[in-house]
Amino acid sequence: MTVQGKVQFSDFDSRGYRTVDVQTGYAEWVPNYENTVEDAMDIALLEDLTEVLWPATRRAVELGCGTGRTGAWLRGNGVESIDGVDITPEMIAVAHPRGIYRHLHQADVTATGLESGVYDLVMICLVDEHLSDLQPLYAEAWRLACPGGVLVLVGYHPHFIMTAGMPTHYDRRPGEPVAIETYLHLLSEQVTAGLQAGWNLLEMKERVIDESWLALKPKWERFRHHPISVAFTWRKPNTRDNG
């Protein structure tokens, strides 16, 4: 470990894949991205959340929106208007013609430049494992949310990253897997970063490898019953909640 008390992905890496940065990786992965990312990872968790009234959401922002896979789910579940932010232009180029987003911005999720305090939902799906530090992400989400607004973060579960030793990766060519820089965040880091930014935790759900997952990935039998993804719903207090 290079940071005191902070676990590093390299301590668990069992694959040793060549690693590239986020923009390089997603620019290469984009043609196959939606064929390889399983909805079981995040959409199944979104469907399990009980604290978010999706159809009552007027204005949302999705940080790390990618190709619009999760944005399409939001729209399909009644979210009226979504702005999308992503750092990889090639991912945005796929999202754009789908017409899911009101505006798409190429920016870092920790410094979006978008208007403060106007979004009643901030959504972050499968992005945080690419950030070395969670605090700026939770702080930016807080800045964007309106009072009473909700933050939903779905992430790759640290337990699975540690157990499988597997980074986020794609195949550059058949038989040539490439990792995208992956950081390990314990669940306590998520909770600490959220609380420090001022969020109240409403709910937390974990998705385990079950029969439906094994039907998709039969080789994962050894991971049966292990958690693979996690979702948090946070709420920004209304000013009247504070006194």
Ligand X SMILES: C[S@@+](CC[C@H](N)C(=O)[O-])C[C@H]1O[C@@H](n2cnc3c(N)ncnc32)[C@H](O)[C@@H]1O
Binding site for ligand X (CB under 6 A): 22, 26, 37, 42, 64-66, 69-70, 86-88, 91, 108-109, 125-127, 130-131
* Cβ nearer to ligand X, comparing 91 with 121: 91
Angstrom distance (rounded) from CA 127 to CA 51? 21
- Report the SS3 class of residue 85: strand
Angstrom distance (rounded) from CA 200 to CA 194? 8
CB of 157 to ligand X, least distance (A): 14
* Cβ nearer to ligand X, comparing 75 with 130: 130
Angstrom distance (rounded) from CA 38 to CA 210? 14
Q: Which two tokens stand for residue 163?
A: 């157990």
CB of 240 to ligand X, least distance (A): 33
CB of 193 to ligand X, least distance (A): 15
* Cβ nearer to ligand X, comparing 42 with 120: 42
Alpha carbon distances (Å) from 51 to 94, 168, 202, 233: 30, 28, 7, 7
CB of 243 to ligand X, least distance (A): 35
* Cβ nearer to ligand X, comparing 85 with 209: 85
* E strand or H helix that includes residue 119: strand 119-125
CB of 176 to ligand X, least distance (A): 19
CB of 34 to ligand X, least distance (A): 7
| CA neighbor of 129 nearest in space, from 64, 85, 210 | 64
* Cβ nearer to ligand X, comparing 43 with 191: 43
* Cβ nearer to ligand X, comparing 125 with 145: 125
Q: Taking CA 102 as the corner, what is the angle to CA 85 and CA 73, rounded to the nearest 5 degrees? A: 75
Alpha carbon distances (Å) from 39 to 70, 144, 180, 228: 9, 27, 20, 12
* E strand or H helix that includes residue 62: strand 59-63
CB of 60 to ligand X, least distance (A): 12
| CA neighbor of 24 nearest in space, from 142, 157, 156, 168 | 168
Q: Which residue is nearest to ligand X (CB)?
A: 66
* Cβ nearer to ligand X, comparing 115 with 241: 115
